[in-house]
Structure 1
Amino acid sequence: MTLRIGISARLLHSPPPGLGLPLKRLQFLESTMAQWIMSHGVVAFMIPFLDEQVPRKRRHAPLGDLVESLDGLVLQGGIDICAETYGAKPWKESTDSDPIRDEYELDLLRGFIDADKPVLGICRGAQLLNVYFGGTLIQDIPTQWPGAIRHQDERDYDRLTHEVHFLPGSRLSDIYGYEPQRVTSIHHQCVDRLGQGLVLEARSPIDLVPEAIRHTGKPFVMGVQWHPEFHMGGSEDGLPGILDSGPLMLAFLKAAARRAGHMRRLTDSMAYVREKIR
């Protein structure tokens, strides 16, 4: 069977009037994320956010059914995680964050991690993984990380790059080797205190800002701070030496295939037993 990968939704709470739904919350999927996943011969589905505060709701969202029907989860990037979500005070009076999305994605994480299904977090998704396991975040690298290089530039956006080093013994070094690699950098927050069971996979070599994390007790739970989906062609996209995003996605999908194969063998075995009982 074709692998089915779920992608968390980005939420737009106040759409601009030109979209035609000015008073409705919108959910969306950044198109290159779907292309990155589906270019490897699998099917991707955006997992809808269901507002359980809506008065007309009949029952809770079927999280268990969603997890059971999908083979892995990818968390999109996006807006900052609320400081309150990990027990901190906001770094400034007014911040761009979304507690509704935090709660929605943390629920998804709980379901997939409890089911031992692979999870890959991208940028914000990597930070949310750290928060899920009890870690904290640096809320603003330029003001809270002395000596930091540029990790975000509104003028360059997805054209800003820097080197990362993969740590000895890391899963990323197994995938890519130990040579320094260049990646996109579109973030002003990063991992601070690591969550329980997590280890660093990569750092920015000049300022040592964390760039990737992994859970040691799970088959595949990893987060990367860069956006591999933005430059699937690597250097072909006009960014010399940019890291090839293919091997990372293949490693994630191989983990999903192993997990799916195990579950389908178990399902077939149970069906055989039920048939014998009849």
Structure 2
Amino acid sequence: MTLRIGISARLLHDPPPGLGLPQKRLQFLESSMAHWIMAHRAIALMVPFIDEESPLSANRAPMTELVDLLDGLVLQGGIDICPETYGDTLRDPAWAGDAVRDRYELNLLRGFIAAGKPVLGVCRGAQLINVYFGGSLVQDIPSQRPGTIQHQDTTRYDRLTHEVHFETGSSLQRLYGNSVPHRVTSIHHQCVDRLGEGLVVEAVSSKDGIIEAIRHTGPGYVLGVQWHPEFHLTPGEEMQGLLDSGPMMMDFLRAALARADRHQSGAAVVHPGVPLSARS
């Protein structure tokens, strides 16, 4: 069975003039994310956004039909989440985020969770999962959490890394263990603050305790990681030793396959952390 994985779109509301599309909102998929999914024999499909204020919105297919066509959802990284989305007050105009994208992705997230289909959130996606379950965010780590290590460097972008610790008993520990340090990319100045309802911490930054991964404890598969596993595919010399992103994607796809099998034939659930070879 070839799995179909939906990916939320990144939104570019004001494209640069050189692109030749003035006054046109662009929706795009970062290629590394598609490569990460498709390298594991799944199909990556971006889920386009329709502005809820557009006249076209009234005639779009219901969310349930869209969710029915897909086996899982990946929430991409990108711009900050608007503080008003989680009931906070904006501290700096630079952190205003994108409320339009928030509404679009929260609607997607709601649909997949209601259908019991797996969700994987990356960076912003992990933060959105926390917000969906009623949690809040630190708007800016350097100013609100003084003394922490550097988690974002605009000059190095995906070349900034640090170590994370997987919590005892977590799904990530079952996948990877804790016998060696786990090094990941770090491209964020915001992070989880108050944990959402039903969420548990899966991983923290080894040096400062910043939350780096969360998981929902209810039915289904909902995991969010603060780093970018899709950037770990082909690291350069200075990026050697990064966490292998393969087991994480396989675990997500395993959950999607189990959900699809269960829906079609009533087969037993394959729990996260069980190797594909163990499937009956």
- The 8 Å contact of residues 198 and 215 in structure 1, kept in 2 or not, is answered as yes
Correspondence list, 1:1-278, <5 A: 1-178=1-178, 179-233=180-234, 238-265=238-265
Distance in 2 (CA, whole Å) between partners of 1:9 and 1:218 is: 26
Distance in 2 (CA, whole Å) between partners of 1:237 and 1:246 is: 19
Deviation at 1:241, TM superposition (A): 1.1
Distance in 2 (CA, whole Å) between partners of 1:62 and 1:48 is: 13
Deviation at 1:205, TM superposition (A): 1.4
Deviation at 1:250, TM superposition (A): 0.4
Distance in 2 (CA, whole Å) between partners of 1:240 and 1:206 is: 20
Q: Which runs of 4+ in 1 moved over 2 A?
A: 55-62, 93-96
Distance in 2 (CA, whole Å) between partners of 1:60 and 1:38 is: 27
The letter of the residue matching 1:111 is G
Q: SS state of the match for residue 150, structure 2? A: coil
Distance in 2 (CA, whole Å) between partners of 1:33 and 1:56 is: 28
Deviation at 1:120, TM superposition (A): 0.2
Return closer, same or farther for 1:93/1:114 CA change in 2, 3 Å cut-off.
same
Larger deviation: 92-101 or 150-159?
92-101
Match of 2:276 in 1: none
Q: SS state of the match for residue 194, structure 2? A: coil
Distance in 2 (CA, whole Å) between partners of 1:237 and 1:7 is: 29
The aligned length equals 266
Q: SS state of the match for residue 79, structure 2? A: coil
Deviation at 1:97, TM superposition (A): 0.7
The letter of the residue matching 2:102 is D
RMSD between aligned residues? 1.5
Distance in 1 (CA, whole Å) between partners of 2:221 and 2:57 is: 34
The letter of the residue matching 1:4 is R
Distance in 2 (CA, whole Å) between partners of 1:237 and 1:45 is: 31
Distance in 1 (CA, whole Å) between partners of 2:243 and 2:51 is: 38
1:189-239 CA deviation, whole Å, 9 max, x = no partner? Answer: 0000000000000000111000000001133100000001012135x6641
Match of 2:272 in 1: none
The structure with the largest alpha-carbon Rg is 1
Deviation at 1:20, TM superposition (A): 1.3
Q: SS state of the match for residue 214, structure 2? A: strand
The letter of the residue matching 1:213 is I
Distance in 2 (CA, whole Å) between partners of 1:95 and 1:241 is: 32
Distance in 2 (CA, whole Å) between partners of 1:196 and 1:58 is: 33
Distance in 1 (CA, whole Å) between partners of 2:227 and 2:126 is: 9
Distance in 2 (CA, whole Å) between partners of 1:171 and 1:200 is: 10
Deviation at 1:85, TM superposition (A): 0.2
Distance in 2 (CA, whole Å) between partners of 1:191 and 1:57 is: 32
Distance in 2 (CA, whole Å) between partners of 1:147 and 1:200 is: 21
- The 8 Å contact of residues 123 and 188 in structure 2, kept in 1 or not, is answered as yes
Deviation at 1:96, TM superposition (A): 4.3
1:95-121 CA deviation, whole Å, 9 max, x = no partner? Answer: 341000000000000000011110000
Return closer, same or farther for 1:79/1:34 CA change in 2, 3 Å cut-off.
same
The letter of the residue matching 1:205 is S
Return closer, same or farther for 1:58/1:45 CA change in 2, 3 Å cut-off.
same
Percent sequence identity over matched residues?
65
- The 8 Å contact of residues 52 and 60 in structure 1, kept in 2 or not, is answered as no
Q: Which runs of 5+ in 2 are unaligned?
A: 267-280
Normalised to the residue count of structure 1, the TM-score between the two structures is 0.92
